[in-house]
Structure 1
Amino acid sequence: MDSPRPLPWEPDPRYRKAVAYFSMEYAIDQALKIYAGGLGFLAGSHMRSAHDLQQNLIGIGILWKYGYYDQVRQDDQCMRVQFIRKYYPFLQPTDLRAQVSVNGHPVHIRVLRLAPETFGTAPVYLLTTDIPENDYLARTITHRLYDTEPATRVAQSIVLGIGGAQVVEQLGGAAIHHLNEAHALPLAFHLLARLGDVAEVRRRVVFTTHTPEKAGNEESDPQFLHGMGYFAGLPLETVRQATGTDGALFSHTLAALRLAARANGVSRLHAQVARDMWGDQAGICPIIGITNAQNARFWQDPQLRQALHTDDDAALVARKQAMKRALFEEVADQTGKLFDPQTLTLVWARRFAAYKRADLLLHDLYRFNRLLEQQERPVQIIWAGKPFPFDQTAVDMFDQLVRLTWRHPRIAVLTGYEIRLSRLLKQGADIWLNTPQRLREASGTSGMTAAMNGAVNLTICDGWVPEFAVDGHNCLLIPPADPTGDAEAQRAEDALQLMELLENRALPMYYDQPGRWLQLMKQGMRDVQPRFDSDRLAHQYYELMYNP
């Protein structure tokens, strides 16, 4: 099916099949705050590469009135959650309309368009229920990304999946509907209600699963979903037969795997983990690995890229120092601390979740303090990232780190971890720390854009890392902990290996062997491209998922 599409280009013949990509979040530009973390960063880079490769692909998402949240500070510098109404006059109004049923009530949807020329992306159509035709409750459906109210979360999936499917049909239809996670799963039930044949639905749906974490693989009461309208008016018995589910809980991920023709994990390792998780379930589709990637044209500093390509070491070192100074201006603005561009700077920055272990460096506090207080080879450390705003454990960890910074002049915690700060951190870091519990990080793309900007990955070998890493050649690898140990035993072993690596390899190399450090940094920049540029990812989706 090569439907006419709302594209300002004639699709490249390799990418002519019409695809609609459904994602709950997109991280495209600092000005458009409709994302929370890695899922959105992946979707944003995908949309940029779809534009650059002239693919016949559009994005479907939701226009979040208050975004995810704005991360600001309390009076004592600890974290405060703020919800600020957003306005985006650069989005184009459209005549597209949709209507869905939520809990037996009609909900009206309007659509705004992110034009390709605005940020250099495929067209993205953003749905909103915050319009006069709806009552107050219906208007709030598209207020906050990942709302804490279960009924609102289900309503958001109905709007994205069923409302988004109606929008795609008005735009000429799609041969393939790509679910970026199971949030838009109601789309499959909309197609089943229209087509009446599970096999026909499967021919039109592909699915990307992003996490082995239980919280990311939702389960719900099917009666509750049915009453909410999640199943597009289909009888519950029809849903059970189509998805092969008959238990007390409905697994969204398992249903997606049974209603899709193909699925992918977001790294080779994660694909194997996903197959181990779901492979004993009858009727699931094949799960392949298509490793996440990021758009180098957007994320990589062009002067640094030019210095690498011309093998101009002096220019590369000078540019890296300039980018460190730019990051340290942000540190000074937020914390009043003056960091030194000559000092080795470690950055840990990503979503605050327990398994990512932001506090792994603190496992042995005596050794951590000794590292900070020694003067011969000084260290500066920066943390940044957004916890889920109502995950008090994650917020408490963030605040614990903030309080720790009061006692040390060379450590800082930054707020506002969005695209702008993410770029500053990746460009200014000497070392990019990645410390998840192994086999729990599905991909972890932040290290890719860090490597593109001359930051050396110091990392657990998880997610995308095994496909990239050669220890001592393009990164520094933390040896894997004994997988038979419990989480606390693995944490203790990983923390020990991390400190050993910092003290005995990273610090001596940076200060005593700067030429070797420079080669490590340059090799990381070389090896991260083009394998982890999103052009490869966008091409592989067509090759392996849309046109198998």
Structure 2
Amino acid sequence: MNPIHHVAYLSMEMAIDARIPTYAGGLGVLAGDMLRSCADLAVPVVAVTLLWRAGYFEQRLDESGAQTEEPTSWEPESLLTSLPARVQVQIEGRTVNVRVFQHEIAGASGYTVPVLFLDTDLAENSPEDRRLTDALYGGDAKHRLAQEIVLGLGGVRALRACGFDRVTRFHLNEGHAALAALELYRESSSGNPDEALHRVRERCVFTTHTPVPAGHDRFEWELVAKVLGEPIPPDLFTALAGRERMNMTLLASNLSHFVNGVARRHREVSEHMFPGRDIRHITNGVHSPTWTSPSFRALFDRHIPEWRDDPSMLRKVLVLPPQEVLEAHAVAKQALLEMVRDRTARNFEPRRLTIGFARRATSYKRLDLVFHDLERLRAVGRGQLQLVFAGKAHPNDVEGKALIGRVFAAARELGDDVPTVYLADYDMDLAKTLVAGVDVWLNTPLPPLEASGTSGMKAAHNGVPSLSILDGWWLEGCVEGLTGWSIGHGDGSDTDAGSLYEQLEHAVLPAFRSERWTSIMQHTIALNASFFNTHRMVQQYVANAYLD
């Protein structure tokens, strides 16, 4: 174990390993990528999350695209190390016991980042409390608040109990972890309350990840009083967290000295949502070695051996032999086509432009935008395009589930003219094959609701350009015709579908059939993969937030 840990990173979900299903999507994958880069760069971090014995869920899709959910099956005891530490939190006046498991992320140089997993599935707890760390994002508001008590209050106490007492910064990754700041206030509350608040703010960093109102947890004060009690004086509590309801984003931002969004545009949107706050931005990235396919890793290792330690060196891809770039992609594409065949019995053709789309299935992601006019899509893509979709809808998201059904219906209508498949149970392993094997990455959110997005960054590490709405990270990464193509004007107007078809017909498909395509692939890596990575992101957090 590393002897010193100056930063504690708390997140409701973390994608540490595909075998450890303690993540639902982008937030967890980003957390895992950040920690992998911290390990590579020897940044003294210890992470805290919840165990999630039932994971998020395993997705099942029938022939019409109707989604059903099943609990994830895994054995934490076989993959994690049980620690002797035990802590307690109070929930509805009951004492809830929490045990701690640990996993270590090993960096390229052997430096390790410990990850603490909190678990309430103990015989001494009530059946209700044992289920608190069962399913990620399950249950009602009371259940969610109880989970956030375990993460926030229990997380700080677990750090103390496990000997991580040299933490100088607490990084709250989304508002789920906001109650950690209240625990720090409780520890510092002797003496002058203003001085205690100042000490807490000096120690806390807060990253907000969503401009979607539903993504900001809010709890009725009556529920808070019943479940959490009064950890700090009521007047101070409402001043920090909101008068009408306890807003976890507001609480975290008011108790942090550094608050950031996850893209330049997201910072602007967040400042409108929370006027008066000084919100900065650190644009997201992805862990380069994790998301680069085996064939491209081998290519980079041959020509740019320093890329693993310093992904900015990927700009040297511009001088690589073009044929070797094409061959690396052909290997990745073949792996994807074999996966499509094995999972769907559909035989996709290597010569067709293959477009990928994999996001959480929810309304603002607009995964059905490409099917807005099936006849236009057929006219543009007949014999030239094939589409691969993936993504889960939250079990309670009726509209999200309906969107999956619409993709299935469109696929039936398009038939072999524009072959379309939807791959079930999107996870890290599927994502690695998908982002590397497609030719173009499609993203069509309703702006300005895309905080950042990272799937297109993963694709870029494999020479895959994006075709995307101008929102989130793509506003920073789009060099028109060189790293990909923009859709619409970033305003979410009804013309977005028309713009998508125009780009496909007049820009993307002609480029794909031309000698320029390899240059586009190389520029995608050189300009986007070299910057949109978590090594750069972590270095910015260290310089701007942790050492500030």
User: Where does residue 355 of structure 2 map in the other structure?
Assistant: 346
SS of 1:96's partner is strand
CA distance in 2 between partners of 1:209 and 1:116 (Å): 24
What is the deviation of 1:302?
Answer: 4.4
Aligned counterparts, 1:529-548, within 5 A: 529-548=529-548
Say whether the 8 Å CA contact 1:147–1:153 is kept in structure 2.
Answer: yes
Quick check: 1:152 aligned with 2:140? no
What is the TM-score of this pair, normalised by structure 1? Answer: 0.91
Identify which of 369, 379, 386 aligns with 2:385.
Answer: 379
Aligned counterparts, 1:26-425, within 5 A: 26-74=14-62, 78-88=66-76, 89-117=78-106, 122-170=113-161, 171-173=163-165, 174-196=167-189, 197-229=196-228, 233-241=231-239, 243=240, 245=242, 247-280=243-276, 284=277, 286-307=278-299, 309=303, 311-372=320-381, 374-375=382-383, 378-407=384-413, 408-409=415-416, 410-425=419-434
What is the deviation of 1:530?
Answer: 2.8
Say whether the 8 Å CA contact 1:186–1:230 is kept in structure 2.
Answer: no
What is the deviation of 1:543?
Answer: 0.7
May I ask how many residue pairs the two structures share in their alignment? 517
Say whether the 8 Å CA contact 1:460–1:479 is kept in structure 2.
Answer: yes
User: Where does residue 477 of structure 2 map in the other structure?
Assistant: 468
What is the deviation of 1:305?
Answer: 4.5
What is the deviation of 1:235?
Answer: 3.7
- Distance change (3 Å), C-alpha of 1:454 and 1:397: same
What amino acid does structure 2 have at the position aligned with 1:180? N
What is the deviation of 1:181?
Answer: 0.2
User: Where does residue 306 of structure 2 map in the other structure?
Assistant: none
SS of 1:202's partner is helix
SS of 2:495's partner is helix
SS of 1:328's partner is helix
CA distance in 2 between partners of 1:337 and 1:230 (Å): 56
1:405-457 C-alpha deviation (Å, 9 max, x unpaired)? 23413111111110001011101110100111121101011100101112111
What amino acid does structure 2 have at the position aligned with 1:497? S
CA distance in 2 between partners of 1:366 and 1:271 (Å): 39
Quick check: 1:450 aligned with 2:459? yes
Mean alpha-carbon deviation: is it higher for 428-437 or for 116-125? 116-125
Structure 1 runs of 4+ with >6 Å offset: none
What amino acid does structure 2 have at the position aligned with 1:253? T
SS of 2:536's partner is helix
What is the deviation of 1:248?
Answer: 2.3
Say whether the 8 Å CA contact 1:226–1:236 is kept in structure 2.
Answer: no
RMSD of aligned Cα (Å): 1.9
CA distance in 2 between partners of 1:82 and 1:302 (Å): 31
Say whether the 8 Å CA contact 2:64–2:405 is kept in structure 1.
Answer: no
CA distance in 2 between partners of 1:305 and 1:469 (Å): 24
Identify which of 14, 25, 33 aligns with 2:13.
Answer: 25
- Distance change (3 Å), C-alpha of 1:141 and 1:230: farther
CA distance in 1 between partners of 2:107 and 2:197 (Å): 38
What amino acid does structure 2 have at the position aligned with 1:295? H
What amino acid does structure 2 have at the position aligned with 1:399? G
CA distance in 2 between partners of 1:227 and 1:416 (Å): 37
SS of 1:22's partner is strand
User: Where does residue 311 of structure 2 map in the other structure?
Assistant: none
Say whether the 8 Å CA contact 1:71–1:82 is kept in structure 2.
Answer: yes
What is the deviation of 1:404?
Answer: 2.7
- Distance change (3 Å), C-alpha of 1:288 and 1:118: closer
Say whether the 8 Å CA contact 2:39–2:107 is kept in structure 1.
Answer: no
What is the deviation of 1:198?
Answer: 1.2
What is the deviation of 1:227?
Answer: 1.5
CA distance in 1 between partners of 2:529 and 2:442 (Å): 20
Say whether the 8 Å CA contact 1:79–1:415 is kept in structure 2.
Answer: no
What is the deviation of 1:479?
Answer: 3.7
Say whether the 8 Å CA contact 2:186–2:232 is kept in structure 1.
Answer: yes
What is the deviation of 1:117?
Answer: 3.9
Identity %: 34
What is the deviation of 1:118?
Answer: 9.8
Identify which of 501, 514, 527 aligns with 2:503.
Answer: 501
- Distance change (3 Å), C-alpha of 1:324 and 1:244: closer
CA distance in 2 between partners of 1:230 and 1:325 (Å): 57
Say whether the 8 Å CA contact 1:53–1:535 is kept in structure 2.
Answer: yes
What is the deviation of 1:244?
Answer: 6.3
CA distance in 2 between partners of 1:75 and 1:447 (Å): 29
Say whether the 8 Å CA contact 1:154–1:230 is kept in structure 2.
Answer: no
- Distance change (3 Å), C-alpha of 1:358 and 1:21: same
User: Where does residue 521 of structure 1 map in the other structure?
Assistant: 521
What is the deviation of 1:79?
Answer: 2.3
CA distance in 1 between partners of 2:455 and 2:394 (Å): 18
CA distance in 1 between partners of 2:378 and 2:229 (Å): 52
What is the deviation of 1:536?
Answer: 0.9
- Distance change (3 Å), C-alpha of 1:230 and 1:145: farther
SS of 1:111's partner is strand
What is the TM-score of this pair, normalised by structure 2? Answer: 0.91
Mean alpha-carbon deviation: is it higher for 67-76 or for 439-448? 67-76
What amino acid does structure 1 have at the position aligned with 2:100? V
What is the deviation of 1:306?
Answer: 4.7
In structure 2, list runs of 5 or more residues that go unmatched.
190-195, 304-318
What is the deviation of 1:76?
Answer: 5.1
